[in-house]
Amino acid sequence: MPNERDKPEANETSNTVKHPDDWKTGEEPMTGAQRSYLETLSGEAGEAPPDEELTKAEASKRIDELQDKTGRGRS
């Protein structure tokens, strides 16, 4: 049975888009840019920024959640 990450995105036009769980570097610590953007999005969403160290994949998923909540970064 296919799972959520096997479904193509509605606006996906390339096979270069990978789900964060499939990233080879997904278990590495999040980047400084991810941390900064999470802090910005968290503030706009009225939430505290993450206080734990996230992986790149976890940070990416959290950014997606906060973008959905704030409407930022989505067209």
pTM above 0.75, yes or no: no
63 within 8 A of 37, measured Cβ to Cβ:
yes
Confidence band for 7, pLDDT divided at 50, 70 and 90: low
* CA proximity to 47, closest of 23, 63, 29: 63
Query: pLDDT value at position 35?
Result: 95
